[in-house]
């Protein structure tokens, strides 16, 4: 089954790939890997902003991480022409805008991680970092980047 069909089966519609907000490109392909720049969470066209443990709930943070994952898929689809070129998700890096006492970054990052497994099955299982940070670009609640292996 193609990934396009899998997305349709899951009822997932990819957003339009977002333009970079600074001097970088969204995806670089080198050595059989696609390196996806950090993606921010847009839900219904609105950037999810705020800090986990202050004004963003765990549930909102998890949804924001999933939105970042959707944007990663959109960027890959745009750069590669098809998600069928993905061999496996190698690594995700999740950055969570966190209050000093917030310790559930891994739970937030699960929003993106679980999406990759839904879409790619076992090939979506990956290594991961989930890091709390004091601030993110544009005040985003979460940012996620990725390393993806491509089919030869």
Q: Which two tokens stand for residue 138?
A: 């544009």
Q: Identify whether 21 is part of a domain.
A: no
Task: Supply the CATH number for residue 77's domain.
Answer: 3.30.1330.40
CA torsion 133-137-141-144 (nearest 10°) is -80
Share of the chain above pLDDT 90, in %: 99
Q: Identify whether 24 is part of a domain.
A: no
Domain that holds residue 91: 3-13+32-150
Q: Which two tokens stand for residue 42?
A: 């847009």
Q: Identify whether 111 is part of a domain.
A: yes
Q: Identify whether 18 is part of a domain.
A: no
Strands of 1-97 (E only): list them: 27-30, 33-39, 42-43, 46-47, 86-97
Taking residue 101's Cβ as centre, other Cβ atoms within 10 Å add up to: 8
Task: List, for residues 6-45, the tens digit of each pLDDT value.
Answer: 999 999 999 999 999 899 999 999 999 999 999 999 999 9
Which residue is listed with tokens 């990956």? 126
Q: For residue 5, which of 120, 123, 124, 90 has the smallest C-alpha distance?
A: 120
Task: List, for residues 47-57, the tens digit of each pLDDT value.
Answer: 999 999 999 99
Number of structural domains found in the chain: 1
């Amino acid at each position: 089954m193609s990934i396009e069909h899998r997305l349709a089966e899951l009822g997932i519609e990819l957003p339009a790939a977002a333009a970079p907000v600074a001097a970088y490109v969204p995806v670089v392909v080198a050595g059989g890997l696609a390196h996806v720049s950090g993606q921010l969470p847009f839900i219904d066209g609105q950037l999810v902003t705020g800090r986990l443990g202050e004004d963003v709930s765990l549930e909102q943070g998890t949804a924001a991480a999933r939105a970042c994952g959707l944007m990663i898929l959109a960027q890959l689809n745009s750069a590669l022409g098809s998600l069928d070129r993905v061999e496996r998700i190698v690594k995700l890096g999740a950055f969570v805008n966190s209050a000093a006492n917030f310790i559930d970054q891994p739970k937030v990052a699960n929003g993106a991680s679980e999406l990759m497994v839904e879409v790619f099955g076992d090939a979506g299982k990956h290594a991961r970092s989930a890091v709390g940070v004091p601030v993110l670009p544009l005040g985003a609640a979460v940012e996620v980047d990725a390393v993806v292996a491509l089919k030869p």
